[in-house]
C-alpha cells in the first residue's frame, strides 16, 4: 500500500534518451517521447497514416522544394528543451538536421505535423500535450490532421505558452499554412484515408 502514496518518479532527460536508445535496439520501431516529464510510447503508424505523410511530403516538395518534411525526426522541445518529441513530420530547410543526431534543435523548424492514431492516448497527446509543447518551444506552425474528426487544424502564432490562432477546416476544404510555410493544402484527398 505504501507504493501508492510514493511520489511519482521524476526522470531526467539524459536517462530518457538512454532508455529510448536501448528500447529501440531491443524492439524495432519503438517510438518513445518525453513530454511534461512523462514517457509516452507512440503507436506504429498504420497504412493510411503513412499515406497521409506521403501526400503531405509531395505537396511540400512541389510548392517549397527547398524544404524537406522529415518523418520521425526527434526534437528537443518545451521551455528548457528538456522534453523530447518525435513528430510524424518536421518541416525545415533540407540541411537543417544534417549534424543533429537523434534529437534535433527545433530552431530551424518551420512546422511540425501530427496525424492522429487509433489509440487511447491520441486526444491527450496530439490535441493537448503536443500543441502546448510545440508552442512553448516556439515552433511557428503545428499541423494536426485529425482522422477521427475528419478535420485539419493549423496552429500558429506561438506566444511561448500556447498557440494564439487555430484554423480548422473539414476534409475537402482548402487550408492555407501561413508564414513561414506559405503552402495551400487542398484537403480533398484526405477523404480517401478517413477512418
pLDDT digits (tens, 9 = 90+) for 153-178: 999 999 999 999 999 999 999 999 99
Per-residue confidence (pLDDT) for residue 4, from 0 to 100: 42
Query: In this model, does residue 5 exceed pLDDT 50?
Result: no
Query: In this model, does residue 2 exceed pLDDT 50?
Result: no
Which has more confidence, 59 or 43?
A: 59
In contact, 28 and 100? CB cutoff 8 Å: no
The model's confidence at residue 36, banded by pLDDT at 50, 70 and 90, is: confident
Query: In this model, does residue 117 exceed pLDDT 90?
Result: no
Query: In this model, does residue 59 exceed pLDDT 70?
Result: yes
C-alpha triplet 34, 37, 38: angle, nearest 5°? 60
Which residues are within 8 A (CB) of 44 and not within 5 positions of it... i.e. 6 or more apart?
A: 29, 31
- Domains of the chain, CATH where assigned: 46-193 (3.90.1570.10)
Query: In this model, does residue 66 exceed pLDDT 60?
Result: yes
91 forms bridges with which residues in the sheet? 69, 111
Per-residue confidence (pLDDT) for residue 137, from 0 to 100: 95
169 forms bridges with which residues in the sheet? 152
The model's confidence at residue 11, banded by pLDDT at 50, 70 and 90, is: low
pLDDT digits (tens, 9 = 90+) for 124-135: 888 989 999 999
C-alpha triplet 74, 78, 80: angle, nearest 5°? 110
Per-residue confidence (pLDDT) for residue 34, from 0 to 100: 77
What is the model's pTM? 0.83
E strand segments, the chain: 31-35, 38-42, 67-70, 74-77, 83-85, 89-93, 103-104, 111-115, 141-146, 151-158, 163-170, 174-177, 183-186
Per-residue confidence (pLDDT) for residue 24, from 0 to 100: 55
Which residues are within 8 A (CB) of 112 and not within 5 positions of it... i.e. 6 or more apart?
A: 75, 85, 87, 89, 90, 91, 130, 134, 139, 141, 142, 143
3-state secondary structure of 121: coil
Per-residue confidence (pLDDT) for residue 3, from 0 to 100: 43
Amino acid at each position: 500500500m505504501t507504493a501508492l502514496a510514493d511520489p511519482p518518479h521524476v526522470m531526467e532527460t539524459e536517462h530518457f534518451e538512454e532508455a529510448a536508445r536501448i528500447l529501440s535496439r531491443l524492439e524495432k520501431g519503438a517510438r518513445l517521447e518525453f513530454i511534461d516529464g512523462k514517457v509516452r510510447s507512440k503507436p506504429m503508424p498504420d497504412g493510411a497514416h503513412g499515406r497521409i505523410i506521403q501526400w503531405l511530403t509531395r505537396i511540400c516538395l512541389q510548392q517549397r522544394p527547398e524544404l524537406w518534411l522529415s518523418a520521425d525526426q526527434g526534437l528537443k522541445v518545451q521551455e528548457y528543451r528538456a522534453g523530447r518529441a518525435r513528430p510524424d513530420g518536421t518541416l525545415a530547410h533540407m540541411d537543417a538536421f544534417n549534424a543533429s543526431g537523434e534529437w534535433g534543435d527545433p530552431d530551424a523548424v518551420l512546422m511540425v505535423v501530427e496525424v492522429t492514431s487509433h489509440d487511447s492516448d491520441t486526444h491527450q497527446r496530439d490535441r493537448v500535450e503536443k500543441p502546448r509543447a510545440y508552442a512553448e518551444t516556439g515552433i511557428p506552425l503545428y499541423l494536426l490532421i485529425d482522422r477521427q474528426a475528419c478535420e485539419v487544424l493549423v496552429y500558429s502564432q506561438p506566444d511561448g505558452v500556447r498557440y494564439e490562432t487555430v484554423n480548422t477546416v473539414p476534409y475537402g476544404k482548402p487550408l492555407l499554412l501561413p508564414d513561414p510555410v506559405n503552402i495551400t493544402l487542398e484537403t480533398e484527398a484526405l477523404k480517401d484515408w478517413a477512418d
